[in-house]
Structure formats: C-alpha cells, structure tokens
Structure 1
Amino acid sequence: MPTLLHLDTSVFPGEASASRAVTATFRQEWEAQHPTGTVIYRDLAAEPLPHLDGLAAQAGFVPAENHTPEQQAAFALRETLASELERADVVLIGAPMYNFTIPSTLKAWLDHVIIMGRTAGAEQTTTSGTPAIVVASRGGGYGPGTPRESFEFVTTYLEKALRDGLNLDVQFVVPELTLARSNPAMADLVELSDASKAKAHEDAASKAKELATRFAA
C-alpha cells in the first residue's frame, strides 16, 4: 500500500490554521482511498528540527562508508528524514506564508533532506517524480496582478527547492485572504476569502482522489 509523507508547519493548531485545515482535507480523502496505507506525519511546529550544522552538512558530501563516528552521528537525522522522503509515494506539505516566505521550520527540513548526489544535484534522484501537494496559505492577496505580487516568496521558492532541487512533481493549493474574517480592514474581502477557502478544500480533495487512483491496489 502507498505511503503519504505529511508535513505541517503552521504555528496555529487545528482549524485555527488555514493550511492545517486544507492538508487535513487532503489527508482525509487520501486515507479514505487507502485505509491500510502508511502515513508518515511530522508536525514541524510542535516538534521543530534542529538547524543543519556544519558537521551534518559536511557529512552529506562524504560517502557513508567513509563517515567518521562524529559524522555518522551528525548525519543520522538527515538519513532518517531523507529516507522518509524517499519512501513516500506522495508528499503533502502545509506551507503558510510568514513574513512573505516559508516557516523557518520547513526551511530546516529542506536543508536536511536536500542531499547532493542523492535527493538532489542530478537529473534522476531518489525522489524524482514523486508528487508533492503544497498548501501555500496566505493572509492577504499575492497573486498575479496584485500590488504585493512581488512579495510572494512561498510558491516561488518552493517551486525551485522542491521541483528543481528535489525533482518532485509539485502542485500548489493556495487559500488566500485568510485574515479577512479577523481583520476589520479586510471586511470587504470576506466573500473572496470564503470562496478561496472553499476552492482550496475542493482542490485538495480532488487532488487526493486523483493521486489515489495512481496507487490503486
């Protein structure tokens, strides 16, 4: 049965987080299609990873059989995280916009799993072609033609890191204007916010169903 790797990164819990709510919709539909499948779940906000340090980074450029004991210990977490990614048939990532870019906890995960010559740095890697659904929620509007389009560094960065770096097959689900109901200054955008939210949940469920058919027993 297939394996889903699910990462959440929002600092807000449950329904208080737009990205968590939408990743939950995807996962619920995925699990309905694959009730005996495997889900590897990491809540990177609740259990953040340590930043990549020099010894762990250096070990990524040394063949495993040549690791010193210190390098082996430092590389152990990178090995675990990379192996989880390599096992995944589908990757699901909640990536809310914080200060125009991704949460630092997600960047830490990327720094660990991007290993040149293994998951990255070649035309064919151990993760090539794996579908990745990214729920890129944002409080305002940053789409094409909006005044803040040039401030959007979530999808622009992740497209490069996931697609061009890890060779994943990336698709984005983007609920935006998520602060409209809590910010009086955005009161006239509530209807657009609600429509964006509904479409994001619909898209997440649809993508889960479509991907599930690829791994039907």
Structure 2
Amino acid sequence: MKFFRLDSSIHIEGSVTRALADVVEQEWIREFPDAEFVHRDLGLHQLPSVWPDAEARRVAPEDALTDEQRAASALAAELVDELLTSDAYIFAVPMYNFGVPHQVKQWIDMIITDSRACDVNIPLLPGRPAVLVEARGGGYTPGTPREGWNHATPYLERVLGDIWGLDVSLATAELTMAHAYPAMADLRDLAREQLAEAHASAGRHALGIAKGLGQRA
C-alpha cells in the first residue's frame, strides 16, 4: 500500500492542518504498518517558479525546447508520478487570504502541464480515496459575516474531485485564530469544539478509507 501526503502550511509548530493530517497518517499506519508514504511538503519546500517553462513545453516543438523547459517538464512528470503511484491521499491545506496557498496553486498548475493530466475532462485519479483537511482562522459558514468568502474549498473540490476524480472526504477546523485575537475571545469555546470535531472527523475518514482499501487488497 502506498499513500501520498501533501502539506502546505508555512508553519510547523502549532499547524492545525499538519496535526489533522497526522491523525489520518497515524490511522493508516495502524492499519497498514508496512505502507509507504510519499510526502510532498510545499510549506517547507516550495516548488521552483518554473510553471511558464512547463507550460511552454506543452506546445513547443521537441527540437526547440530549452534546457529550462525540459527540466520544468521533468518536475511536472515527477509530481504526477507521485499521485499515480499512490493508493490514497492526504491533502492538508490551510486557507490564506480567503483562498488556497500560493504554493498549492503552483503545484496544481504544474501537474496540469503534464500530458497525463492536461485534459481536465479525463480524470487523473478516478475513484481513489482522499482526505482533505483544512483550517481557517475565522468563520465562513452560512450566517457568519464572512459567508461566501471561502474561495479555497470550492476550488479544491473542483480540482481534486471534479477534475482529478478523487473521492474526497473533508475534515475542517474553523476559528483557529480565536486563541490569538482578543476580539475573538467569545468564540474560543466554539473553536475548541470545532477543532475536536475536525480531529474526530479526520480519524473517521481515515479509518473508513483504510477499511475500504483493506477489502480490496
């Protein structure tokens, strides 16, 4: 069994998404102690800014390619290989400035330059299971002042689910900055409840996926 994990938080200590991803990973290790994990950490190791070269590689004649375009294309192929050779996935993505982190968008853009992923009408990973763990500093649910400002989740659901064909389960913690801002002090109990539920949800999703994979093995 082989699992893929993507981290993207720029924080290590105190990262909610990393902690939630740990819950999923630990559950899978318990079920599959000999499993292999492929870990791509975009928070610690951002991809080089070579998307223009990778994109140009798609249309440039082979004999006209530059060394930079060939290298960018090789990186895109490596990213796709990591996905195609895995059985299940963890995507740990915090919301930054109402959307996905720059490094996650860059990763997705690079993948779509590869010939195996460029046709968005053909799923890259049809039916494979994934857990998407998210963290948002404020509240964005219906009825809150920021309702409609969450541009991260809809985008990720489109890419991971609708384009790549993954069966995505979601575990989300909101109000994660309540502990740090006096203006959010009255939301701290709710924040703790939401965080606890996010951990529980991540564990449930992980166990359900592990059981399903075990039945197929």
TM-score, structure 2 as length reference: 0.90
Q: Which amino acid aligns with 1:172?
A: L
**Corresponding residue number in structure 1 for 2:105:** 107
1:34-183 residue pairs with structure 2 within 5 A? Answer: 34-60=32-58, 68=65, 70=67, 71-115=69-113, 118-183=116-181
Q: Deviations over 1:156-200 (max 9, x none)?
A: 111112222222222221101111112111111111101100011
Q: Which amino acid aligns with 2:157?
A: E
Matches of 2:45 and 2:191, distance apart in 1:
30
Matches of 2:63 and 2:156, distance apart in 1:
32
Q: Which amino acid aligns with 1:13?
A: I
* Cα gap change, 1:37 to 1:66, in 2 (>3 Å): farther
Residue 88 of structure 1 contacts residue 130 of structure 1 at CA under 8 Å; is this kept in 2?
Answer: no
Aligned pairs, number: 214
Identity value in percent: 37
**Corresponding residue number in structure 2 for 1:11:** 10
Q: Which amino acid aligns with 1:40?
A: V
Q: Secondary structure at the match of 1:203?
A: helix
Matches of 2:166 and 2:60, distance apart in 1:
24
Residue 5 of structure 1 contacts residue 40 of structure 1 at CA under 8 Å; is this kept in 2?
Answer: yes
Deviation at 1:78, TM superposition (A): 0.3
1:209 to 198, 207, 213: 207
Matches of 2:88 and 2:59, distance apart in 1:
27
Deviation at 1:69, TM superposition (A): 6.3
Matches of 1:124 and 1:107, distance apart in 2:
20
Q: Which amino acid aligns with 1:77?
A: L
Unaligned runs of 5+ in 1: none
Deviation at 1:145, TM superposition (A): 2.3
Matches of 1:28 and 1:179, distance apart in 2:
25
